[in-house]
Structure 1
Amino acid sequence: MQNSQSHRVIAVYQPSTIPAYQGNPLIEALPPLNSFVDDLSALKGKLRCTPDDIHQNGVDRAHSICRVIDDFFQPLSQYIQLHERISLMIRGGYVGRNPDTGDWARHIQNGYERVLSGDLKAIKFTEVYSTAQSMALIGCSGNGKTTAMKQLLSLYPQVIYHPDTNLEQIIYLKIDCSHDGSLKELCLNFFRAIDRALGTSNYEKQYSMSKRPSIETLLAAMAQVANAHALGVLIIDEIQHLSRSRSGGSEKMLNFFVTLVNTIGLPVILVGTPRAREI
């Protein structure tokens, strides 16, 4: 499959026809709203076979077929619904974080208060509201959840640079829950993923090398970094690995995810196997 967008692009603004999106540079810098059929057609892979492949010996032909199938992607009907949800979540989350109305700056200021206090509920501006949504994608292991998410996200550039504001806007970020199942390691995975997206090493060094940072400190910093880079959607994969005991209890885990969506204004997609239902 060929990506329709590169990893990092310079912002080019295209006026939106949807009133709620108009005048929001974080939305108008996104790729235009194409029909789902057009986008999925761009994702559809091609079987690259030649007549000569038929005449290969059995061993070579088996390897050739395996490689062709690995590279092939066939969008299914369920992907249309998933594609729509992702598009709505990214754009909808930015409605309440418009830099031109001051909403984004107020989110940043509230985040600064949380970093200072270590309290995820701390706020400075009470009039800030969230337009973010969350979603869970649950399915058996190996049925294509991660592959589908990866292919659909490839329709977007991961980073858009806004020269006027010197903002590196991260459209999406995907992180995996580590096997030890701790919220702390989840936060550190977040900072590593931010560094990979931006091509830096600043965030991982800053937070992994500090002396025993508390979970609250890491969560507040994670939320602030997400706001500072106007993160569009956070995908947390392998959520079934998240352990209640190592994460400080189910209440802390629930508060963390709810805060990201309702207070920070960050859309979140949780992906996991049926074992994740209890979380």
Structure 2
Amino acid sequence: MENKIYPADLRKPANPSHLGNPLIESLFDQLTAKEFYEILVKRGPLSRDEVLKMEPSIRAQFLDSIRANFLIPNRRLFNVYELIHSSINNSYALRNPLKNSIKSNIQRDYRDFASQLTDNFEPTFSNSSMIVGISGIGKTTSINIVSALFPPALQHTNIDGESFIQIPIVKIECPKDGSIKDLCRYFFIELDWILGRKKYETEYCRNRDNASDRVIAMSKLVAAHCVGVLIVDEIQHLSKAKSGGHEAMLNFFLNLDNTLHIPIIVVGTPETVDLFSEKQRLRRRFTAGAALRWDRLPNDHEWNTIIKQLFKYQYTEEQADPNVDWASLFYSHALGVIDRAIKIFIASQKLAFKIQAKSITIDIVNKAVNNTLWIDEDIFKSIREGNLNQSRAMDLFLPDEKTDRKENYRLINIQNELLDFKIPENFYFPLIEDFINKNPTDTDTEIAFKIIKEFRLENEKSNTNSTKQIKLKPNYLEGDLRKCNTDDPSALHQQLVDLNVIAKLQDYMI
């Protein structure tokens, strides 16, 4: 098993506050958008010219590499890069090994983490983030591309008399059953793959061990290898966790962040939003660093650019008719899902090779969709027809679109703003949806401000009502003694007589 370890080459960082921190000095400064795009454009599938030099019988074999390597640099991809780079820097800024030795860090962090497990520690600080997007929109691909820009592992020697291996990024997939034991196992396997040895899985995953043992081992390795950020993909798997398992897992992530200063970036489909629908604290913590959302692309200039770039990788004998509006045709089949568009493009070329057509045509594209992508066609048909009741079609919508999902993505942003002003949930929760419907053009901040204003008005009314002296009018009953109100004994006697409370003695005298 080959390792992915490189020698740490320290350089002078642009940010003066990072000077003297070998964890940051061993990495590169944040790239500008231009530098980032220039690096990425050098990647990509084999060009048409390269493939046409090969024998026609093997050209089709290179089509599948298009899906793995096709990439169009865009702002959304750069946002992912910015998020990961800043998360690593923020993490390492708090963990300079020259201020605290690696050994002391491991011992301290181990004790702190073990303590919070037994004391039910409540995290108060977080740099964790969330990326939510529909299936096939390119979340995982983008994260893999960005992660590949960072060295998998760096060997530091003689840092304050110590040597250690720094691992900037660990990316794992969330277990389907929400098991913390399995999550730790995936972590050990990933570290073993990076370090080129099968050690940690064998050492820490034993028969009849418990979750706490693996969690403590994971915390030790996070500190020992100075892990910069943990990326957990497919977080929507937690929606299937039983007995509150999803909350236990999310709390576990936050405790890693808070105690070991390792930010967690969770990545998932629209189901991810539902995991936070009832827990403001979790929602707030996992959007502290950032909350990126990826929708289906509209049929606009960006979509046209993607299809135009995709068509550069035609491996058929002739190129497709340039007069055809291929962008619109592909949009009608893919509805803004890039991964599906790439699949259609590859399937169409494979069909063209199979029937010995010189190029792809509209008819070939339609047949390719019907023959090879039919399993999802009912979902896309439901969306085209506006029939959003089909549950599978919900995977292609984020919650702020016109669907019947319970949670609204805008609601999360508004709630996060209201939390800063300590507005009670039982006050604002019933109002948010109504305010959004009545003010469709308002921003989330504007709606939050209106709710805050409403809350303050209610408070003023309540305070006024509680302090105002109200003069009560008595409701006397017939013969009520409270009517007798005088300091004159004779007058009081007469009032009591009139009420027949006392008798006139002269009436009974002989």
TM bin (shorter chain): 0.7 to 0.9
Give secondary structure in 1 for the equivalent of 2:131.
strand
Give secondary structure in 1 for the equivalent of 2:260.
coil
Amino acid at match of 1:33: Q
Tell me which residue corresponds to 2:153. Answer: 159
Of 208, 213, 225, which residue of structure 1 is paired with 2:209? 213
For residues 110 and 52 of structure 1, the distance between their equivalents in structure 2, rounded to whole angstroms, comes to: 57
Deviation at 1:141, TM superposition (A): 1.2
Tell me which residue corresponds to 2:175. Answer: 178
Identity of aligned residues (%): 34
Name which structure has the greater RCO, CA cutoff 8 Å, separation 6+.
1
Of 185, 188, 194, which residue of structure 2 is paired with 1:191? 188
Q: CA 1:122 to 1:112, structure 2 compared with 1: closer, same or farther past 3 Å?
A: farther
Give secondary structure in 1 for the equivalent of 2:274.
coil
Deviation at 1:53, TM superposition (A): 3.2
Of 215, 223, 227, which residue of structure 2 is paired with 1:227? 223
Contact 2:171 2:190 in 1 (8 A): yes
Of 18, 22, 28, which residue of structure 2 is paired with 1:31? 28
Across the two proteins, how many residue pairs are aligned to each other?
A: 267
Contact 1:92 1:131 in 2 (8 A): no
Deviation at 1:202, TM superposition (A): 1.6
For residues 230 and 121 of structure 1, the distance between their equivalents in structure 2, rounded to whole angstroms, comes to: 25
Deviation at 1:243, TM superposition (A): 5.2
Deviation at 1:163, TM superposition (A): 1.6
Alignment of 1:1-279 (within 5 A): 7-44=4-41, 45-46=43-44, 48-50=47-49, 53=52, 64-68=62-66, 70-102=68-100, 106-113=104-111, 119=117, 133-164=127-158, 165-209=162-206, 211-242=207-238, 245-246=241-242, 249-279=245-275
Q: CA 1:245 to 1:178, structure 2 compared with 1: closer, same or farther past 3 Å?
A: closer
For residues 262 and 243 of structure 2, the distance between their equivalents in structure 1, rounded to whole angstroms, comes to: 21
For residues 205 and 213 of structure 1, the distance between their equivalents in structure 2, rounded to whole angstroms, comes to: 12
More helix by share: 2
For residues 267 and 101 of structure 1, the distance between their equivalents in structure 2, rounded to whole angstroms, comes to: 20
Superimposed CA distance per residue, residues 212-267 of structure 1 (whole angstroms, 9 cap, x where no aligned partner): 22222222221221111000111111111125645863442232111011111001
Give secondary structure in 2 for the equivalent of 1:179.
coil
For residues 13 and 65 of structure 2, the distance between their equivalents in structure 1, rounded to whole angstroms, comes to: 41
Contact 1:158 1:171 in 2 (8 A): yes
Unpaired stretches in structure 2, ≥5 consecutive residues: 276-510
Amino acid at match of 2:237: H
For residues 19 and 191 of structure 1, the distance between their equivalents in structure 2, rounded to whole angstroms, comes to: 35
Superimposed CA distance per residue, residues 55-91 of structure 1 (whole angstroms, 9 cap, x where no aligned partner): 987x976655554454221111111221111111111
Contact 2:4 2:196 in 1 (8 A): no
Give secondary structure in 2 for the equivalent of 1:178.
coil
Q: CA 1:55 to 1:198, structure 2 compared with 1: closer, same or farther past 3 Å?
A: closer
Contact 1:97 1:103 in 2 (8 A): no
Superimposed CA distance per residue, residues 135-186 of structure 1 (whole angstroms, 9 cap, x where no aligned partner): 1111111111000000011111110000213211001111112333312111
Give secondary structure in 2 for the equivalent of 1:94.
helix
Q: CA 1:120 to 1:23, structure 2 compared with 1: closer, same or farther past 3 Å?
A: farther
Amino acid at match of 2:79: Q
Contact 2:178 2:249 in 1 (8 A): no
Contact 1:93 1:131 in 2 (8 A): no
Q: CA 1:121 to 1:202, structure 2 compared with 1: closer, same or farther past 3 Å?
A: farther
Give secondary structure in 1 for the equivalent of 2:98.
helix
State which drifts further: 175-184 or 142-151. 175-184
Q: CA RMSD in A?
A: 3.0
Contact 1:120 1:219 in 2 (8 A): no
Give secondary structure in 2 for the equivalent of 1:100.
coil
For residues 233 and 186 of structure 2, the distance between their equivalents in structure 1, rounded to whole angstroms, comes to: 11
Contact 2:21 2:97 in 1 (8 A): yes
Contact 2:178 2:246 in 1 (8 A): no
Amino acid at match of 2:190: A
State which drifts further: 63-72 or 97-106. 63-72
Q: CA 1:106 to 1:96, structure 2 compared with 1: closer, same or farther past 3 Å?
A: farther
Contact 2:5 2:154 in 1 (8 A): yes
Deviation at 1:274, TM superposition (A): 1.0
Contact 2:21 2:98 in 1 (8 A): yes
Amino acid at match of 2:47: R
For residues 67 and 239 of structure 2, the distance between their equivalents in structure 1, rounded to whole angstroms, comes to: 35
Give secondary structure in 2 for the equivalent of 1:271.
strand
Give secondary structure in 1 for the equivalent of 2:48.
coil
For residues 196 and 148 of structure 2, the distance between their equivalents in structure 1, rounded to whole angstroms, comes to: 18
Contact 2:127 2:263 in 1 (8 A): yes
For residues 88 and 107 of structure 2, the distance between their equivalents in structure 1, rounded to whole angstroms, comes to: 22
Give secondary structure in 2 for the equivalent of 1:206.
helix
For residues 167 and 149 of structure 1, the distance between their equivalents in structure 2, rounded to whole angstroms, comes to: 26
For residues 157 and 238 of structure 1, the distance between their equivalents in structure 2, rounded to whole angstroms, comes to: 23
Largest Rg, 1 or 2: 2
